[in-house]
Chains A and B, each alone.
Chain A
């Protein structure tokens, strides 16, 4: 069993839809949770960073962490075609350690 599970998709939605992306994990030591967006043949771009449980909002993006369920989510409101990319969840147990990544979910927002 992988430490971090993420549905690879592809997930196809119409423009303007609310997108929900999720990851589950098995390592209860994870405390730092991140969401990255990766366009084809590019390095990952940090979208959201959360420590421990709770919600965090930044513009159209909301990250949620439920440590009791070992479940994290990223919501994208008013999705745009430019949001089409692969979204990777990542997490670490302590600060400045390397990240453990999910496999990534490919999102396609149809105009």
Chain B
């Protein structure tokens, strides 16, 4: 299967700081990547759709100025959590799929803890 790599797997940061999470497609080009958030014992909730070379599309209720998404190349999308607060602590997961089919592959996830 396709490989999607996400980094870091775990990060602890102080309140008010910013954290960047990277999502890379290792063996295919992805014009579209997706960012999800997962709270403990809950399912994945779509935050935003990252489009290569254009602005991301955010889901209702997701602050675009707080969760900055950059998709500068066909293999890399980044999510930056700005001015992090403890309530931003969560598991963030990216996904990507090949252009030729609809299967979606997920990164390993990033556990963010804001203290």
Return the CB mask of A74-110 against B: 1 if under 8 Å, else 0: 0000000000000010101011101111111000000
Decide: B43 and A43 in contact? CB cutoff 8 A: no
Stretch touching chain B among A12-20, A34-42, A65-73: A34-42
**Shortest distance from the beta carbon of B24 to any chain A beta carbon, whole Å:** 13
Tell me which of B41, B43, B44, B105 contacts A46 (CB under 8 A). Answer: B105
Decide: B108 and A98 in contact? CB cutoff 8 A: no
What residues on B are CB-neighbors of A98 within 8 Å? Answer: 34, 46, 49
A45 interfacial contact with B, CB 8 Å: yes
B27 interfacial contact with A, CB 8 Å: no
Bound form: Cα–Cα A1–B108 in Å: 30
Bound form: Cα–Cα A51–B104 in Å: 13
Q: How many residues of A contact B (CB 8 A)?
A: 26
What residues on A are CB-neighbors of B42 within 8 Å? Answer: 103-104
Contact flag A92-B106 (CB < 8 Å), given A43-B6, A98-B46, A101-B44 = no
Decide: B44 and A44 in contact? CB cutoff 8 A: yes
A25 interfacial contact with B, CB 8 Å: no
Decide: B43 and A102 in contact? CB cutoff 8 A: yes
Task: Enumerate 10 A-B pairs (CB-CB under 8 Å) in ascending A order.
Answer: A6-B43, A34-B103, A42-B109, A46-B103, A46-B105, A88-B44, A90-B104, A92-B102, A95-B102, A98-B49
